[in-house]
Amino acid sequence: MRKPDGKIVLLGDTNVGKTSLLHRYMERRFPDTVSTVGGAFYLKQWRSYNISIWDTAGSQREELHSSAETGLLRAVSTPPVSPHSHLRCCDPRSSPFSGREQFHGLGSLYCRGAAAVILTYDVSHPQSLLELEDRFLGLTDTASTDCLFAVVGNKMDLVEEGAAEGREEDGPGPGTAGSGRSPKVPKLVQPEDAVALYRKILKYKMLDEKAVPAAEQMCFETSAKTGYNVDLLFETLFDMVVPLILRQRAQGPPQTVDISSRKTPRQTRSGCCA
């Protein structure tokens, strides 16, 4: 199988919704409860390119689900969600871990050669945004030198203001008995906070603001539950990653080997007269 043409990695603290974002886009569903142990990836066909999207666990020890407990390596294929899309999912063999040293090594490994990184936070928890700068940005040192960065505030469906599109408008109000909805919480991280982090990232990477996408293009607010802005996030990145793939192909050796063009070595007879 041909290697992926490019890699996108999701980073962020526990419970910011990285796995849910990925499930919403790739499988068109919102999982009830999912904890990622180690990492998992999807292969996404975008036009004629294969792009792997890696989901990483947060730094805290997370609850195992049955497949991880038994150490199974699973591969699941599902039908395309659009004419230009196909996915595969793999949960690599991994063990539970805790502590920042183990996570730092694993996260750096997943980021190696990444063409884009999605730094994810929870719009109702300012600490989750601070953690991106304090603990996760350093993991991207192994990413591609021209790596793109997106700063994504998830869980917009939970906040009082700026409610996400796509939620139901009928029935009892938020937080009322029998509504089945979670009570609304204050939105404590604003878009300008994400823009400020994006500019810090550029400074950390010593990138010229004029030579990279503007902050307004790379800062998103999403809801994995309703699907708000999820397609926009991933497909914006795919469109931006494709030129990087083409540039890397022009600069480096091909990723595939044409075995049909190789000549079969001449066989010699064995024995003393050979």
Q: What is the pLDDT of residues 96-137, one digit of tens each?
A: 333 344 445 577 888 999 999 999 999 999 999 999 999 999
This model's pTM is above 0.85: no
For residue 158, the SS3 value is helix
Q: What is the pLDDT of residues 21-73, one digit of tens each?
A: 999 999 999 987 555 555 688 999 999 999 999 998 764 333 333 223 223 22
- What is the predicted pLDDT for the residue at 135? 93
